[in-house]
Amino acid sequence: MNILIAIIEDESIYAQQLTEILEHWAKQLNCTISLDYFKNANSFLQTNFNSYDVAFLDIQLDETMDGLSLAQFMRKDNYQGSIIFLTSYKEYVFQGYDVQALHYLLKPVKEEDIKKCMNMVYQLTKENNYIIQNNAQTIKIPYHQILYFSCANHYMEIYTSEATYSQKAKLTDIISHLPYHFAQCHRSILVNLNHVDKIVKNEIFLSNGTKLPISNTHLEDVRKTFLDTIL
């Protein structure tokens, strides 16, 4: 699994220290990381920042937008990843709660603290993403992007808001590992109820206009689970 990491830090000495710790952690855990470094919030916001699994934010950025303001902007833009604050001042410790910060670390950061944070990020990344492993390729798909799964001839098609993926798998192989908001609506289809606009008789209407069938066998369960997700 590849974990995407962003470091937004205006002091290069701290960014380099953090980078070395993260690379050491990844080597010990035998996972891969992709790490990008930004000296200010503006350059970070010019990227597709929602793709990062974790963002390390320096609170005292040397510009108009500090780390707290940056975190608030990210959450308003539906950033789903982990936020970890870095600072030299203890008095900022309580200011990260309104943006659901994963942790608050004092500089210079300690390796053991970073490892604890990254172990949590690793677990959250697995829980928040569907992982496809085909031969030497590993693909990570955020669950919130998946519209539905469709199975035929021992192959699973994963339809997302941006692309369609394929893997060799059966519906029974994955159904028990998915979040609660995925429901089986047909013998060969699993739907993400967070993308359902409405249910009319035996049809599901998705947010992108797609219509999916509901078999009588699954109709009651789908309706109940759908109501649970919106109430």
Q: In whole angstroms, what is the distance from residue 42 CA to residue 70 CA?
A: 9
Number of folded domains that form the chain: 2
- Last residue in a domain, options 129, 162, 197: 129
Residues 97 and 168 in one domain: no
80 and 14 part of one domain: yes
- Angle CA 150–204–213, to nearest 5: 55
User: Minimal CA–CA distance to 58: which of 84, 36, 29, 81?
Assistant: 84
Query: 32 lies in which domain range?
Result: 2-129
Residue 90 sits in the same domain as residue 203 = no
- Contact between 33 and 58 under an 8 Å Cβ cutoff? The reply is no
pLDDT in tens, 176-186: 888 888 999 99
Write out pLDDT tens, residues 129-165: 898 876 667 788 889 899 999 998 889 999 998 899 9
Q: Which residues pair with 200 in a beta bridge?
A: 203
Residue appearing with tokens 């028990």: 176
Query: Crossing angle, helix 111-128 and helix 12-29, to 10 degrees?
Result: 60
Q: What pTM, to 2 d.p., does this model score?
A: 0.69
CATH number at residue 211: 2.40.50.1020
The pLDDT-based confidence of 231 (bands split at 50, 70, 90) is: low
The torsion angle over the Cα atoms of residues 212, 80, 75 and 13, rounded to 10 degrees, is -150
